[in-house]
Copies of this chain bind each other. A is one copy, B any other.
Amino acid sequence: MDVRTIPAHHARMPLARTVPPAAGFAPIAPDAAGMPLYRAVRREILRSIEDGSLAPGAALPNESELAATFNVAIGTLRRAVDDLVAEHILVRRQGRGTFVATHTRDRFLFQFFHVERCDGLREEPGVDLLSFERVRMDEDAAAALATRPGTPAFHFENRLTLQGTAVVHDRITVPAALFRGLTEKRLRERATTIYHLYQSEFGVTVVRAHERLRAVGADRASARALGVAPGQPVLEVRRTAIALGGRPVEYRVSTIVTAAHDYVNLLSRPA
């Protein structure tokens, strides 16, 4: 593979290096102008992940090697990696290496699951698949997923239980085009989190999401799924999940019974 070096817009002339390119790293695009070097490096690493050269769980070349490949100082390389680690896209392990992050249960609980019992008990929810169908997107889903209404999609419902009680009812819409071959069977038989399934089976890596929360009266479907009276106040969370390239890939409406559980949110974390 042809690997050009990142144009050095710093004064001290770096020595021409002859290190062979690490497999999977594309040359630097010419539009890096005006961007700090560490940003260009970050983008390059990102691109290698997005185009599949670096699969989830894969180890990156070690830092000095990577720095040599990009022809940047090790400090510059480290800064790029720092940023990607902060975004949960890479994971560093001292003594072992740097890896492309995978969607583990821990990450799911930490980053994407905010429900816990009032007394603070957190546990992984049990999941029941309630329905699965091929549909065409309604307006809400289409708007969230940046496509047109009517776009083919999969729609399925999950019921999450905590400590044996039904607490969350999820209605999930994903574009069919991104999840070819998704079946009820595969959803039901997965032994992992949904986002791990997206990642390992469809190459869709969710990296962030935004949510809008409202209090509503439970509709009939949610009430039945959750065993509460229709009209009872429940928390409705509409989440749009964003994948690696910045593309919205999942629209999810969660209905949460907050009788004995809370949605928890940390405003800034202590260091």
What is A's interface to B at a CB cutoff of 8 Å? 42, 83-84, 86-88, 111-112, 118, 207-217, 233-236, 239, 246, 256, 258, 262-271
Chain B residues near A210 (CB-CB < 8 A): 264-267
Chain B residues positioned under 8 Å from A212 (CB to CB): 118, 262-265
How long is the Cα–Cα vector from A268 to B88 in the complex, in angstroms? Answer: 8
Residue of B nearest to A83 (CB): B271
A208 to B268, CA, bound (A): 5
Contacts of A268 in B (CB 8 A): 87-88, 111, 207-209
- B87 pairs with A214, CB closer than 8 A: no
* A216 partner residues in chain B, CB cutoff 8 A: 215, 233, 258
Give 3 closest A-B pairs by Cβ, nearest first.
A215-B215, A214-B258, A233-B233
Interface of A is mostly: strand
Chain B residues within 8 Å of A263, by CB? 212-214
Name the residue on B nearest A212 (C-beta).
B262
CB of A163 to closest CB in B, whole Å: 17
> In the bound complex, do residue B111 and residue A258 qualify as a contact, i.e. CB atoms below 8 Å apart?
no
Assembly stoichiometry (copies): 2
Q: Which residues of B contact A258 (CB under 8 A)?
A: 213-216
Instruction: Tell me the bound Cα distance from A159 to B215 in angstroms.
Output: 18
Name the residue in A84, A86, A209, A258 with the highest tally of chain B Cβ atoms < 10 Å from its Cβ: A258
Report Cα–Cα, A84/B271, bound state, in Å. Answer: 8
A208 proximity list for chain B (CB < 8 A):
266-270
Cα distance, A210 to B86, chains bound together (Å): 20
| Extra pairs beyond A208-B268, A211-B265 (7, CB < 8 Å) | A207-B268, A209-B268, A213-B264, A213-B265, A215-B215, A216-B233, A233-B233
Contact of A213 (CB < 8 Å), options: B86, B246, B262: B262
Q: Across the interface, which residues of B come within 8 angstroms of A266, CB to CB?
A: 208-211
Closest to A118 in B: B212
If A233-B234, A266-B208 touch, does A271 touch B213 (CB 8 Å cutoff)? no
Report the minimum CB–CB distance from A155 to chain B (whole Å).
Answer: 22
Chain B residue at smallest Cβ distance from A120 = B212
A217: chain B residues at CB < 8 Å are 233
- CB neighbours (8 Å) of A211 from chain B are 264-267
Find chain B residues with CB under 8 A from A214 CB.
235, 258, 262-263
